[in-house]
Amino acid sequence: MSIPISSNPFAYGAPQPRTMGQAFAAPNAPIAMAQPTPWPPNPLHRLPVLPPSQDFFQSPSQSLSRLLSLPCKPQLVETPQDRLNALTLNPSLYQRFAQLQIPEGPVMGVKMFTQINKTLSPTSQQQLQTLLQQGVLTQQKADDGHSTLYQLYGILTTPRAQGYDNRAILQETIQVLAKPYSISQRFAPTTPQAAQALLGAHRASVMYGGPQSPALAINPQDLHVENSATCVASSVMYYMADKEPADLARHINELTSPLNAFFEKARFDEISPDNPANALNILNSHQISYSISGPGEVLVKVENPPTGVVRAITSQGNPSSKNYRNAIGAAYQSALTYLATHSYNPATDLRDSDVPGETSKGLTEAEKTLMEAIVKDNGGFQSVTYQAVGSKANPAPGEENNSYLFGYNRPFEKTIQDILQALQMNEPVIIGTTDTDETGAIVAGHEITITGAYTDPKDNQLKFVVADSDDDVAGPVVKNARELIPTIHHAGLPVALARQVNREIQTNAGYLVPDQRDQMNFKLLARETGPMPQEQPEAPAVNPAAFNPFQPIQPAAFPAQAFIPNYSNPFQQIRGSLPSLPLTPAA
């Protein structure tokens, strides 16, 4: 059996080691900046419209009716003039919407598209046309049954929360849908005005019981976030833009409305695949607001806490590049990270720590999996842990809280096949990677998304196409499998595949230690940074046969799968990508 060394050895998503921050303080503890001027003017304007409890809807039928009648849902009424305009002014567009069977009808489709298009910049107009040609605008997989175009129309024509600009949010949403690789997790520099607003929103939330981490004292210096830990939420945002654009547009529509929250249906067997009866216990343990919406199904409230709203509003208008998050990126990442752990504070990008009174960054593997299970509408995902990570049995002073990479739970070539199989199922794979120091101690974790794979005819090696929200590239990057595979700690795989893989892992006696043949074919962490720690974790002894578990893999042995795009057009299976899209090698 694989050694269950630890399912929570360190916080994933943190691009730097766990960071100690300010201690918890009483709700009325003074904040360093006296009498901060709140911005937006009233920091309480966004406290929950609906009570933050599991009873925010009284019945399943009321849950559905409220979801369909939220204030950000525009009422569409077709008039004779609308029909005349559609048939005479835009007959080709009418025919296209009729052919694609847009749920709102072709007449309303033409009206919504025309009104949206005339408000956009030339760049956004081109992106809207691309989304139309790709069929993204007419996708109707949103929980409310409406199309992507309808959600964009809602962003334009219904009130936004105080501080948001309809047109800015609309253009940002169109950009993310057209260019999912442009999603960034990087915080923009915090201006003095934003710092005052963040402190005011945090203080008001703590004093008046708003949704915020419990009385966490913050100081102005904590507000300057240089290394963001929202890569998990950024990876989920990429997935939604690529696979579920209608629901992502709905999420943004609701999240930037006066509700400052969106609602998502999730099944018990998605939240807890191995034991659906435990789903509500999991939600309650994470303090997640929900309502029973049907047999074996809940409607979950995903809200953006006050400091997350301020972060989003102050990010509005950031240049459309990979340098910094825009407003919808800040809002979505804050809300999803807060969903995974209610101790998260978007003002500082910190959450609670395993050590009482201290703070840390990032999410655990379990929190990351729960986020995916709730937000994605794909039948559920389950995490597979590939690295054997734990603490030393006899740590030296100062090493007590360190986690070390001891080995692997699965041979590298099988890990490759797991990822290729998920890609063949048309599912991008969100992976958690690790970095180690010279002692083998894990010093950082990061989440990225594998979106495709192909065999490079130049060197006949397998390459992975990756979306990374923490690089400087507003497009896909390519990573060599021999470099990426040894860094993978865990991966989110479709439930059926994950169960099969986990069953195979369970049969292993101990963990696997790479041998010299692996060093010839993979760029190992241990080879880069020094030997793995000599001390064994508190676990069963390693099976001696496990020291030589791998079949030798020569680079030429990587098979060219039929579903893998060819090198001349490695993005043909990735929606929204063109053959001319630049291929950027990873640094």
- H runs (alpha helix) in 145-230: 148-157, 166-178, 192-207
**Residue 11 maps to a domain:** no
Same domain, 203 and 100: no
Name the band, by pLDDT with cuts 50, 70 and 90, for residue 10. Answer: very low
Same domain, 115 and 219: no
Can you read off the two tokens belonging to residue 579? 């053959």
In 3D space, the residue among 183, 116, 185 whose CA is nearest the CA of residue 152 turns out to be 116
Domain residues for 144? 80-157
Same domain, 192 and 250: yes
Start-to-end Cα distance in the chain: 37
Q: How many CA atoms lie within 13 A of 444 on its CB side?
A: 12
Domain boundary among 322, 348, 379: 379
Higher pLDDT, 469 or 420: 420
Q: Report the amino acid identity of residue 323.
A: N
CA 131 to chain centroid: 22
DSSP string spanning 362-398? SB-HHHHHHHHHHH--SS-EEEEE-EEEE--SSPPTT
Q: Helix %, strand %, coil % for the chain, to 5?
A: 40, 15, 45
**Residue 6 maps to a domain:** no
Indicate the average pLDDT of the chain. Answer: 77
Can you read off the two tokens belonging to residue 109? 């489709």
* Model pLDDT for residues 331-378, shown as the tens digit of each residue: 999 999 999 998 888 998 888 877 776 778 888 888 988 999 999 886
* Model pLDDT for residues 281-335, shown as the tens digit of each residue: 999 999 898 998 889 999 999 999 989 999 999 998 776 555 788 999 999 999 9
Same domain, 222 and 103: no
Same domain, 145 and 60: no
Domain boundary among 142, 157, 172: 157
Same domain, 33 and 135: no
* Model pLDDT for residues 73-132, shown as the tens digit of each residue: 888 889 999 999 999 988 999 999 998 889 999 999 999 999 999 999 999 999 999 999
Average pLDDT over residues 35-53: 32
Output the pLDDT for position 437.
82
How far is the C-alpha of 476 from the C-alpha of 461, rounded, in Å? 18
Name the band, by pLDDT with cuts 50, 70 and 90, for residue 57. Answer: very low
**Residue 14 maps to a domain:** no
Residue 93 Cα distances to 96, 131, 316, 329, 462, angstroms: 5, 13, 32, 31, 42
Can you read off the two tokens belonging to residue 276? 């659906």
Can you read off the two tokens belonging to residue 470? 């923490």
Look at residue 568 and tell me whether its pLDDT is greater than 90: no
In 3D space, the residue among 344, 323, 508, 494 whose CA is nearest the CA of residue 410 turns out to be 508
Name the band, by pLDDT with cuts 50, 70 and 90, for residue 66. Answer: low
Output the pLDDT for position 322.
54
Exposed e or buried b per residue across 322-360, where buried means at least 16 C-beta atoms within 10 angstroms of its C-beta:
bebbbbbbbbbbbbbbbbbbbbbbbbbbbbbbeeeebbb
Output the pLDDT for position 513.
78
Same domain, 427 and 566: yes
Same domain, 434 and 577: yes
Average pLDDT over residues 148-168: 94
Question: What is the total count of domains within the chain?
Answer: 3
How far is the C-alpha of 545 from the C-alpha of 537, rounded, in Å? 18
77: helix, coil or strand? Answer: coil
Output the pLDDT for position 176.
94
302: helix, coil or strand? Answer: strand
Same domain, 372 and 360: yes
Q: Could you list the beta-strand ranges (E) of 163-305.
A: 261-267, 290-294, 297-303
Same domain, 203 and 251: yes
**Residue 497 maps to a domain:** yes
In 3D space, the residue among 97, 89, 92 whose CA is nearest the CA of residue 135 turns out to be 97
Name the band, by pLDDT with cuts 50, 70 and 90, for residue 134. Answer: very high
- 458 contact partners, CB below 8 Å, separation of at least 6: 567
**Residue 321 maps to a domain:** yes
Same domain, 56 and 90: no
Domain boundary among 379, 402, 417: 379
- 326 contact partners, CB below 8 Å, separation of at least 6: 172, 175, 184, 315, 316, 318, 320
Average pLDDT over residues 503-508: 87
| Cβ proximity of 527 and 519 under 8 Å | yes
**Residue 435 maps to a domain:** yes
Same domain, 118 and 246: no
Backbone torsion region of residue 530, taken as left when φ is above 0, otherwise alpha when ψ lies between -120 and 50, otherwise beta: left
**Residue 5 maps to a domain:** no
Look at residue 553 and tell me whether its pLDDT is greater than 80: no
Q: What is the DSSP letter of 240?
A: H
**Residue 214 maps to a domain:** yes
290: helix, coil or strand? Answer: strand
Can you read off the two tokens belonging to residue 53? 């409890």
* Model pLDDT for residues 170-181, shown as the tens digit of each residue: 999 999 999 998
Q: What is the CA radius of gyration of the chain?
A: 24
Q: Could you list the beta-strand ranges (E) of 69-225.
A: none
* Model pLDDT for residues 189-230, shown as the tens digit of each residue: 888 888 888 888 887 766 555 555 444 567 778 898 888 889
- The DSSP bridge pattern shows strands 584-585 and 477-480 to be parallel
